[in-house]
Every structure is written in C-alpha cells, then in structure tokens.
A and B are shown apart, each in its own frame.
Chain A
Amino acid sequence: IAGITQAPTSQILAAGRRMTLRCTQDMRHNAMYWYRQDLGLGLRLIHYSNTAGTTGKGEVPDGYSVSRANTDDFPLTLASAVPSQTSVYFCASSASGTGRSGANVLTFGAGSRLTVL
C-alpha cells in the first residue's frame, strides 16, 4: 500500500539521549516535511526538504536536524532530547516544492509519539 511509514510509533526517552525518528515514503514525492503537534498549537513545521540532497528550516527547527540522502527517506534526529520536545511528530510528503504552486496535498504518516523525561 503506497504511503508513508514512520517508526517508532511511540517512544519514551531520557533527557539528554539521542533519538532518530524514521520516515519512508514510496510515492516518489519530491518534497518531505516534519511537523510536531502540540495541544492548542496545531502542527508546526520543523524541517522540510524540497528534493533529495536539500533541506530547509521550518518554524521550530532548534534542537532538530534532518537529512535527505535519497527521495524516499527523511529521518529526524534529536541530538540531545529535552522535555519540551515531548510531542507527536508527523512526517508528510507532497509532490510539490518551493518555486511551484502548492497544487498537491500533504500525505501524512501515522505519527510518532515521543515522551522525553
């Protein structure tokens, strides 16, 4: 089934530990995104990638890093987790990117719930 796979589904993590959230899509979408969802704040963009080999910062990038070595994978890394990074993280993809009108919609993964203690 075509779509986005995120792993892990849920994780409890000690503060100061390193954590990588994985995201893989099989739709050959050029653009990929990481959002965090917090109650009352909606979804906020952390990082994005318009195409393999390029990445950009979103609204709340501090404490996070991403890489885009190929079209399908877009991992999100927390180098040293802090409690304020407790959230639900969504990976998403789209067939559009910067420079083109956002004609295509976002397709989301199922989310990863991360708790930092």
Chain B
Amino acid sequence: AQTVTQSQPEMSVQEAETVTLSCTYDTSENNYYLFWYKQPPSRQMILVIRQEAYKQQNATENRFSVNFQKAAKSFSLKISDSQLGDTAMYFCAVSLNGKFYFGSGTKLNVKP
C-alpha cells in the first residue's frame, strides 16, 4: 500500500518569512511523481509544484521549492517570503501508475 504522511496539521508563519511543510511517503516503486497542491478557502485545488522521482535536482517554482530526499522518502515544501495569499491547506501527493495518493494536509496561516 502507498501512504503519504503530513505530520503537521497546522502551522503559522509571519508575512515575509520562510516556512517549511513536511511530507513523507511510503512506496516500493522506483519511478513516481510527487506534488504539492494548495487549497485556499475557495476550495479549489491548485497545483503548486511537481517533482519527478528520477530527477535529483529539487524543483523550484518562484517562491516555492522542494527538498526531495528519495532515500528517506521525504518531500518537504519551502515557501519563501510568505504572503497573505499563501494562507491555505497544503496537500502532498504521490503519483504511482496513474493513481494519485494524498496526505491529510497542513493548514498554513500567514499572519500580517
């Protein structure tokens, strides 16, 4: 079975500071993809960043970057220069053979 664990149910960060959200996963597969999705209060699911497991270089998307540790099966999300609009639920996900498995989410509050 594949599982995704997000151990931080809720986090807070001051505006303009940096925050890291944790994610670990369990799979016996070697080829897979990892994702972070954002869900603001509007309920819409928005892709933040994607990482291919066969790539060693960490993905970066503007203020968002990941720290991918394949051996440790860890995939954390770093948000730099946090903005009020970053307030949302963040879900980590793993894609295996076309199926997508999600963690339980981390609620991030960005404080002014």
B104 contacts A41, CB within 8 Å? yes
Instruction: Flag if B98 contacts A108 (CB, 8 Å).
Output: no
CB contacts (< 8 Å) of A45 on chain B: these are 99-101
A102 B97 Cβ-Cβ under 8 A = yes
Chain B interface mostly helix, strand, loop or mixed? strand
Question: Are A33 and B100 also in contact (CB < 8 A) when A102-B95, A103-B33 are?
Answer: yes
Within 8 A of B (CB), among A75-108: 88, 90, 92, 94, 96-103, 105-106, 108
Compute how far the CA of A94 lies from the CA of B47 in the bound complex, rounded to whole angstroms.
13
| CB-defined contacts of A96 to chain B, threshold 8 Å | 95, 98
CA distance A44 to B103 in the complex (A): 9
Interface pair B99/A90, CB less than 8 Å apart: no
What residues of chain B lie closer than 8 Å to A105, measured between beta carbons?
35, 47, 50
* Shortest beta-carbon distance from B29 to chain A in Å: 10
For A90, the chain B residues whose CB sits under 8 A away are 45
Complex Cα spacing A98 to B96, Å: 8
Report how far A99 CA is from B96 CA in the complex, Å. 9
B31-80 contacts to A (CB < 8 Å): 31-33, 35, 37, 43-45, 47, 50, 52
A79 to B45, CA, bound (A): 27
Chain B residues whose CB sits within 8 angstroms of the CB of A88 once the complex forms: 43
Taking a contact as CB atoms under 8 Å apart, the answer to whether A42 and B99 are in contact is no
Residue ID in chain A nearest B4 by CB atoms = A42
From A42, A97, A100, A108, name the one whose CB has the most chain B CB atoms within 10 angstroms: A42
Interface residues of B (CB under 8 A from A): 4, 6, 9, 31-33, 35, 37, 43-45, 47, 50, 52, 91, 93, 95-105
Contacts beyond the supplied A33-B99, A94-B98: 12 A-B pairs with Cβ under 8 Å? A31-B98, A40-B104, A42-B91, A42-B103, A45-B101, A50-B98, A92-B100, A101-B97, A102-B33, A102-B99, A103-B33, A106-B35
